[in-house]
């Protein structure tokens, strides 16, 4: 994390994060942190960095979020936790339904 991020107390920030459907399929989505920028120039710099690593433009969501940075990061962490929990609940329900269906065929 850059020095400007550690000291940032901006009222609004840019959040740059993988799309939710891509995020929940990652190995450790709870531990990842979105990138945050205070200006359009910083936002564009992050997007150029991601493109340099082969990220497709549609793979990331860029949106304005309320600051300061500590609040934005906490909100992002809570959002990711909700996404992961919902994804695991969906997968468990699918597995339980599949097992019930298989037992019904026996």
CB of 34 within 8 A of CB of 16? yes
What is the average pLDDT score of the chain? 87
Q: Alpha helix locations (H) across the chain?
A: 3-6, 20-23, 40-52, 69-105
Domain count along the chain: 1
Q: What is the pLDDT of residue 27?
A: 58
Average pLDDT over residues 4-20: 82
Confidence band, pLDDT 50/70/90 cuts, at residue 26: confident
The pTM assigned to this predicted structure is: 0.74
Range from 54-58, 63-67, 77-81 carrying the lowest mean pLDDT: 54-58
Residue 23 belongs to domain spanning? 3-105
């Amino acid at each position: 994390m850059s020095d400007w991020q550690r000291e940032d107390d901006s009222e609004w920030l840019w959040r740059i994060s993988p799309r939710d459907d891509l995020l929940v399929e990652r190995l450790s989505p709870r531990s990842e942190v979105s990138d945050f920028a205070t200006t359009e120039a910083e936002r564009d710099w992050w997007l150029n960095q991601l493109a340099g690593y082969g990220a497709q433009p549609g793979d990331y969501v860029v949106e304005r979020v309320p600051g300061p940075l500590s609040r934005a990061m906490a909100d992002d962490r809570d959002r990711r936790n909700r996404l992961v929990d919902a994804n695991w609940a969906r997968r468990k329900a699918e597995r339980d339904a599949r097992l019930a269906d298989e037992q019904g065929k026996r």
